[in-house]
Amino acid sequence: MPVLKGVGQCLIHAPNLLYHNGTTQTVERLKNPDSEYLKKLPEHLRKYDDAVAYAPNQAYIGNISLEELKTIPRPWYPNSINGASRFGKYGEIMPEDEFYGLLKIADAFDLVILEESFQEEVKEKLAKHKLINEQLLARLTNAKPLGEIEKLVASHTAEGLYLGEKLVGCVRQAHEIDENLSAHIMLENLVVKASGILAVLHLLANTGINPAEVDYIIECSEEACGDMNQRGGGNFAKAIGEIAGLVNANGSDVRGFCAGPAHALLQAASLVKSGTFKNVVVVGGGAVAKLGMNGKDHVNKGMPVLEDMLGAFAVLVSENDGLNPIIRLDVIGKHNIGSGASPQQVMKALVAEPLAKLGRKITEIDYYSVEMQNPELTEPAGAGNVPEANYKMIGALAVMAGEIGRADIPTFVQKHGLPGFAPTQGHIPSGVPALGFFRDALLEGKISSAMVIGKGSLFLARMTNLFDGLSLLIEKNPGKTEETTGLTKEAIREMVAEYLREMAKGLLS
């Protein structure tokens, strides 16, 4: 059985990317440049320290557990967490200026240009970062004077990188005509790459694995990198691995909207189970486009615009070590083409059917990780509490299966559900952000099984109206020896010794 060896989970505070590059804002600027929303928006952007002290963000990087978050009353944003810090056991919350530096580090085609003094400042800061080594720092080159950057931005051949009113750099277009290589797309793709790198660096540190031992990388964000002849050609995975030092790894990109990470996890686990590879990294970078997606509603409600975080994650799937939680591959929940698109059919395919195959009850799974969007971001926009709705659906399935009574649904939700805590970055909240929490709880023996559910809205690409989803069971490792042959090492040793004794006897006689 493949195991979940560790995670890297990072956030990047990105209020300026939100303001200049989030699609809600870029569309508004095109359609209604003098809008009240755009005027009010800067006053509603959070400071970095507030983003760090925000309880769901502390949960994302592992400083508080999801069980602890459950006990913290909402609203979370006006109540900072005491003792909050930038770094947690899964990763970190990086400030935007350092992230611009990381964008430059990630850049392989001299597309990112930072202003000279800003680059020096950021270099000093990144030099103090425990995971940014000399080799990475040396990539901070070719800074330019402000005037040159201003010219590029004014000529619409580059997207500006700002800190408040101040222009501190830009991302240039990579082609004059090809819109797939425009400055806008290059910025989005470089953000995926840079945030993915950050998550992988934390994953390497958290697991202690030698980077040279990673065999394969699967990237599962929601952007496409390519040019006009192959719009989604790829390959984010190798681009990320190159900078993160995974020299012996190959890789590829997997897509499936928000279900992408679940597909990637399934493939990683299958590659390990088959014996093809020993160590596979799954990584997903963040989405600039979704920053401030519900910003208008947040501003209208007088709240800070809370969708100011880029999310990134990485997990390491490895061959069985007899210790880390196993990813079961004997039964997978999967939404089939013929499954039907009603929520009931989807949840049946993802939860009820795989558990029935195993002879397990819905109530026997300790926790479910569903679409873990932070409700504080979605409720003001009328989208409700998404994870809670999912838990109610799973509870309703348990009612239909005769496991609980209808009146028990709220208790089921309380017992088997977790609070939504992830930024609304599409693939980032989709099942996977609870992997760090699940791994810890399984290792500590607090729980014995958890289900990760990824769901994707395929209609958005206008190719099909089908829905999508995959679910995987993660369980406590029963120990390595029982799984393969049923024989212990000692028993095998004894058998070999017996054979040798017999052979020696034969030789002597």
Question: Does the footprint of another protein cover residue 72 (CB under 8 A)?
Answer: no
Q: For residues 151 and 272, give the distance between their C-alpha atoms in angstroms, rounded to a whole number.
A: 50
Q: For residues 76 and 54, give the distance between their C-alpha atoms in angstroms, rounded to a whole number.
A: 7
The residues, ordered by sequence, that sit 6+ positions from 108 with a Cβ below 8 Å of its Cβ are: 239, 242
Coil, helix or strand at residue 84 = coil
220 vs 396, beta carbon nearer another protein: 396
346 vs 435, beta carbon nearer another protein: 346
144 vs 392, beta carbon nearer another protein: 392
61 vs 394, beta carbon nearer another protein: 394
167 vs 383, beta carbon nearer another protein: 383
The residues, ordered by sequence, that sit 6+ positions from 385 with a Cβ below 8 Å of its Cβ are: 375, 378, 379, 420
Smallest Cα–Cα separation from 426: which of 232, 235, 208, 192?
A: 192
Q: For residues 308 and 325, give the distance between their C-alpha atoms in angstroms, rounded to a whole number.
A: 33
28 vs 96, beta carbon nearer another protein: 28
**Residue spans of alpha helices (H) in 335-408:** 343-347, 353-358, 375-378, 386-400
* Distance in Å, CB of 143 to another protein, minimum: 42
What are the CA-CA distances from residue 372 to residues 255, 283, 450, 455 (Å)? 19, 18, 14, 11
- Is residue 286 within 8 Å of residue 311, measured between CB atoms? yes
Coil, helix or strand at residue 304 = coil
Quick one: which segment of 93-101, 217-225, 314-322, 380-388 binds another protein (CB under 8 A)? Answer: 380-388
The residues, ordered by sequence, that sit 6+ positions from 136 with a Cβ below 8 Å of its Cβ are: 105, 126, 243
Quick one: which segment of 123-131, 271-279, 365-373, 395-403 binds another protein (CB under 8 A)? Answer: 395-403
Which residues of 46-181 form beta strands (DSSP E)? 93-94, 112-114, 158-163, 166-172
- Rg of the chain on CA atoms, in Å: 24
* Distance in Å, CB of 304 to another protein, minimum: 22
Q: Estimate the crossing angle of helix 386-400 against helix 409-416, to 10 degrees.
A: 120
Coil, helix or strand at residue 95 = coil
* Distance in Å, CB of 399 to another protein, minimum: 6
Q: For residues 310 and 423, give the distance between their C-alpha atoms in angstroms, rounded to a whole number.
A: 7
Question: Does the footprint of another protein cover residue 383 (CB under 8 A)?
Answer: yes
Q: Footprint of another protein on residues 432-471 (CB under 8 A)?
A: none
Among 249, 409, 472, 473, binds another protein (CB under 8 A): 409
Q: For residues 470 and 464, give the distance between their C-alpha atoms in angstroms, rounded to a whole number.
A: 17
Question: Does the footprint of another protein cover residue 65 (CB under 8 A)?
Answer: no
What are the CA-CA distances from residue 74 to residues 173, 220, 297 (Å)? 43, 31, 18
What are the CA-CA distances from residue 238 to residues 91, 133, 242, 387 (Å)? 21, 20, 6, 33
Residue 203-242 contact track with another protein, rule CB under 8 A, x = bound:
----------------------------------------
Question: Does the footprint of another protein cover residue 262 (CB under 8 A)?
Answer: no
* Distance in Å, CB of 347 to another protein, minimum: 7
Among 38, 392, 449, 481, binds another protein (CB under 8 A): 392
Quick one: which segment of 40-48, 54-62, 385-393, 501-509 binds another protein (CB under 8 A)? Answer: 385-393
Token pair, residue 301, equals: 């409600």
Number of residues binding to another protein, judged by CB under 8 A: 20
113 vs 393, beta carbon nearer another protein: 393
Question: Does the footprint of another protein cover residue 397 (CB under 8 A)?
Answer: yes
* Distance in Å, CB of 406 to another protein, minimum: 6
252 vs 345, beta carbon nearer another protein: 345
Quick one: which segment of 182-190, 309-317, 382-390, 468-476 binds another protein (CB under 8 A)? Answer: 382-390
Question: Does the footprint of another protein cover residue 406 (CB under 8 A)?
Answer: yes
* Distance in Å, CB of 394 to another protein, minimum: 10
Among 167, 205, 356, 399, binds another protein (CB under 8 A): 399
65 vs 300, beta carbon nearer another protein: 300
224 vs 396, beta carbon nearer another protein: 396
94 vs 404, beta carbon nearer another protein: 404
CB neighbourhood size of 501 (10 A): 10
CA pseudo-torsion sign 401, 402, 403, 408:
positive
Q: Footprint of another protein on residues 330-349 (CB under 8 A)?
A: 340, 342-345, 347-348
Quick one: which segment of 222-230, 396-404, 418-426, 450-458 binds another protein (CB under 8 A)? Answer: 396-404
Tell me the one-letter amino acid at 489. K
Among 38, 137, 205, 400, binds another protein (CB under 8 A): 400
The string of DSSP codes covering 445-474 is TS-SEEEEEEEEEGGGGTS---EEEEEEEE
Among 59, 268, 393, 435, binds another protein (CB under 8 A): 393
171 vs 289, beta carbon nearer another protein: 289
Question: Does the footprint of another protein cover residue 478 (CB under 8 A)?
Answer: no
Question: In the complex, which residues of this chain contact another protein (CB under 8 A)?
Answer: 340, 342-345, 347-348, 382-384, 389, 392-393, 395-397, 399-400, 406, 409
